Chain A
Amino acid sequence: MTGRDDRIEHVGIDETEALTLNEVCRILELRTEVIRDWVAEGVVQPSGRRTGEWRFAPREFERALRARRLQRDLELETQSLPLVLDLLSEVERLRRRLRVLEGRFFE
């Protein structure tokens, strides 16, 4: 085990890397039917037309991560997930705007 602490692993973040349906299912530990359902309901949006060609970009995967957390922790219905996710993004956007504006007017 000597020298282990000195070893530095180099990793890159690849924003162009997209995941297949099977990869998303494996990572999120969800059945393919669940993700198919999510795509049908607009929870996540892969690129590619047929299921076999689906690719989930990093931001879509993040949305899926969040959807899983919300569904698991708050027991939300699938149909409500797109709305909840969109509203949360909107709230975040508004909070950021508010911070920018507050920074200006109360400096």
Chain B
Amino acid sequence: MEFKDYYKTMGVEPDAGADEIKRAYRKLARKYHPDVSSEPDAEAKFKDIGEAYEVLKDPAKRKEYDQLRKSGWRGGEEFRPPPGWERGGFRDGGGFESWSFGDGGGFGERGFGGRDAGGFSDFFETLFGGARRPRQRPQKGGDLRARVEIDLETAFSGGKRRISLEQPERAPDGSVRSGARTLEVTIPPGMTEGRQIRLAGKGDPGPGSAPAGDLYLEIHIRPHRLFELDGRDVHLTLPIAPWEAALGTKVSVPTLAGKVEMNIPAGASSGQRMRLKGRGLPGKPPGDQYVLLKIVTPRPASDEQRKLYERMRDEFDFDPRAGLEAKR
């Protein structure tokens, strides 16, 4: 495993005082907190920062860590704990990596997940694992998290999604290996992006007779070819011909529930937005579908067509840029 440079992670010098470390942590935590940050790797960064702070804020842990640094260990080096560090045994799932994947049954769905946040690195667990929380007997199994990707159609009408969860299992001989569990989750209509769904008792089994932990599903909706999603509202760009815009017409518009007829008023413009009430994702209240008109102009392909455009130019006394003239 890799020796972690907690000072570098925190952006402080090895002789930094407690106050400085706290300030550095707060600044970084605000920047990378997964609930706040838009940085792509916020979650991993935040975990690293949390781990570094866990060690550096605690004088006892920091002292132990500094001792290792004094004996020459530096960040990035392949680390093997000196003999005195062994704390032996399997601790509370510590360092046991877990993930899951959806087998999707032909839907091409996938997800991944793992232990609930707060799982520190192998490096941390090796050094301090036994000394982390002065823990009573765990009262329930660990919580699990899994990311579930669904398509917009599933968000609209609901569906079933399979996810596989890996979890540590103790074999009769005491060794630990990973086993798989498959869950088929029925997703109700109206799921929105980023929802966190708790499935009670679907996490790791509890030790002995203790209850199982919970499973948290994080719902993500994949981008759609036609529709953009904004909460429960659905947006669609609808191309129309110049004469459709000019004269008005009735067009067939795709919605998540199938095609509906919509009136384009005469004199419609590009950028004009129309609303199909209640045609978004179901819910209380249901979302709407917004249709943005976009006039698409065909190039004249024959003399006849060119003449038609020229006649329009001559017939209309129309300056589309009249509004741009400076007012006197």
Interface residues of A (CB under 8 A from B): 1, 4-5, 7-15, 27, 58, 61-62, 65-66, 69-70, 73-75, 88, 92-93, 95-97, 99-100, 103-104
Contact = CB atoms under 8 A, between A and B. Distances in A.
Contacts of B179: 1, 4-5
B190 A8 contact: no
B36 interface: yes
B36 A88 contact: yes
A103 B187 CA distance: 28
Contacts, number: 86
Contacts of A11: 183-186, 199, 202
17 contacts: A1-B169, A1-B179, A4-B181, A5-B179, A5-B182, A8-B182, A8-B183, A11-B184, A11-B186, A13-B186, A27-B214, A69-B35, A73-B29, A74-B36, A93-B230, A96-B229, A104-B237
A92 B163 CA distance: 27
B13 to A, nearest CB: 23
B231 interface: yes
A70 B230 contact: no
Contacts of A95: 38
Report which residue of B180, B198, B199, B217 has the largest number of chain A beta carbons within 10 angstroms of its beta carbon: B198
Report which residue of B36, B169, B231 has the largest number of chain A beta carbons within 10 angstroms of its beta carbon: B36
Contact of A104 (B35, B46, B229, B292): B292
Q: Is the interface of A mostly helix, strand, loop or mixed?
A: helix
A66 B35 contact: yes
B218 to A, nearest CB: 10
A92 B182 contact: no
A9 B183 CA distance: 5
B61 interface: no
A88 B230 CA distance: 15
Contact of B182 (A7, A62, A65): A7
Nearest to B199: A11
Contacts of A97: 230
